[in-house]
Chain A
Amino acid sequence: MNQTFKICALASLLWLFNGCGVTVQGIDLGRVVGAGSKIFDVGEKSQEQEIEIGRDTAEALLSKTMLVADDQLQQYVNRVGYWLAQHSDRPGLPWHFVVLNNSAANAFAAPGGYVFITTGMLAKVYNEAELAGVLAHEIAHVIQKHHLAALQGQSRKGLLGDVLVLAQQGRKRDEERSRSSGATAHFDDMVLDLYGRGLNREDEYRADALGAQIVARAGYDHYGFSSVLQTLGGREQDEADMTLFLKTHPPIDDRLQQLEAVLLLLDEQVTSSRVLAGRYISHSRAPVSHDS
């Protein structure tokens, strides 16, 4: 009952404020609510909206971290990613695969086809099939709209409160079109909070399973991803850079156990698979480091 009331109240606020140019102590509530409403409604709407939200999310993430300045590496990862995406259920999305200059081993996705992988993760990958496994796991998150659903959930829970707080306190002035402006900062905070907490375990297990299938369909060794997990599991206690990955993903042993049945099934169905260690290492060696 209470939840229904909140949703109705929120919907009313969205309708009232969105595009009306209502300003409270310098804050354009229309923009604030507009950013939220885009998220709030998107699950029931078009692929175009999903892509638009994905682009906003990617921009928010890229405002906090740097790309690797290595065009060849970026192009290589995109080719692997695109080949995989062509074997997914949504080949027509505008996929983007992005190598971030960050020593922490991690990978994540944004709605609409954005997949990010860090140089720290590339350093723990030994061949192209393993890279494909990591990218396919993230592709699976996009296919299954996990981040989109999480952003929606966060918006449902948080926006009403935020609007009320904004209306009551009018906490900051808004500079139009700046990344730090009210609406954009609100959106960025929501994105960074989600990526800070990670997805729930069930989403991760589902992405592991679907990712293995995508990899197998694309002709790669479907054990690549579990090999990466084993590598990460063997090093989790001694590297500070692993903390981030472990905090945003379920325990590695649990994931390997969940994945095993899928891999055994794929064993019976795949007739050809490639590892491509040489090609991976020839492309990924000595990526340009921001720190060097």
Chain B
Amino acid sequence: MNTLLAPALVVLCSLFSLSCWAAQAAIVVRDSPLYLDANQRSTQLGELSKDAQVILLLRQGGWYKVESVDKQVGWLRMLSVRFAREAETHSESLAKLLGASNLAAPASGVATGVRGATAQALADDEQDGEAQLQQVDSYVPSLERVSQFAAEGELSSQTLPAKQVED
């Protein structure tokens, strides 16, 4: 029974994972060609203008299958779009209602980090760092187990030219 249940769960999970894209609205961030297939050499169906709205249907590598407002379906380069922030409008109206200029701090690269996490969820609880560190040591896998894990996932090492991109 369990042997049937596990693969079924994985299939269900995979379907769930794909469905995560199904309802995702996105915005085109630059004028972008729409292709018939997920391939730059495939037939070009047209062009979507900057700020056009699309629905993301599927991702395949660096491509999204999208549906445009006029119901045209095709493939866009993944990084030509950004997810629409549906809640942004809601937050902004809330901010106006509350008289606040901004509900969320902007991304600035300056920060609160672990200290912020402490304030949110960690309260002032001191943990036994040393004991937890020993627990962390116990999770280290053997290299044999790692290789087996990779084989189970059909992961294969790829050879890339050294220093192809500046580190």
Give the complex CA separation of A273 and B122 in angstroms. Answer: 38
Please state if A223 and B61 are interface contacts (CB–CB under 8 Å).
yes
Give the complex CA separation of A6 and B106 in angstroms. Answer: 36
Give the complex CA separation of A193 and B109 in angstroms. Answer: 14
B143 at the interface (CB under 8 A from A): yes
Give the complex CA separation of A97 and B118 in angstroms. Answer: 20
Q: Which residues of B contact A55 (CB under 8 A)?
A: 133
Number of A residues, CB within 8 Å of B: 109
Number of B residues, CB within 8 Å of A: 79
A249 at the interface (CB under 8 A from B): yes
Rounded to whole Å, the gap between the CB of A155 and the closest CB of chain B is 18
A82 at the interface (CB under 8 A from B): yes
Bitwise, B11-53 to A at CB < 8 A (1) or not (0) is: 1011011101000101001000000000000000000000000
B96 at the interface (CB under 8 A from A): no
Please state if A62 and B127 are interface contacts (CB–CB under 8 Å).
yes
Please state if B136 and A247 are interface contacts (CB–CB under 8 Å).
no
Please pick, from B81, B118, B167, the residue contacting A144 in the complex, using a CB distance under 8 A: B167
Please state if B158 and A217 are interface contacts (CB–CB under 8 Å).
yes
Q: Which residues of A contact B150 (CB under 8 A)?
A: 83, 218-219
B99 at the interface (CB under 8 A from A): no
Q: Which residues of B contact A274 (CB under 8 A)?
A: 153-155
Give the complex CA separation of A195 and B159 in angstroms. Answer: 34
Q: Which residues of B contact A201 (CB under 8 A)?
A: 109
Please state if B110 and A247 are interface contacts (CB–CB under 8 Å).
yes
Q: Which residues of A contact B20 (CB under 8 A)?
A: 126
Please state if A219 and B121 are interface contacts (CB–CB under 8 Å).
no
Which residues of B from 129 to 167 have beta carbons under 8 Å from A? Answer: 129-130, 132-133, 135-137, 139-141, 143, 145-146, 149-150, 152-161, 164-167
Please state if B122 and A64 are interface contacts (CB–CB under 8 Å).
yes
B108 at the interface (CB under 8 A from A): yes
Rounded to whole Å, the gap between the CB of B8 and the closest CB of chain A is 11
Give the complex CA separation of A256 and B129 in angstroms. Answer: 35
Please state if B141 and A75 are interface contacts (CB–CB under 8 Å).
yes
Stretch at the interface among A10-18, A33-41, A168-176, A236-244: A236-244
Rounded to whole Å, the gap between the CB of B50 and the closest CB of chain A is 13
Subset of 6 A-B contacts with CB under 8 Å: A61-B114, A98-B136, A244-B116, A261-B165, A262-B165, A263-B62
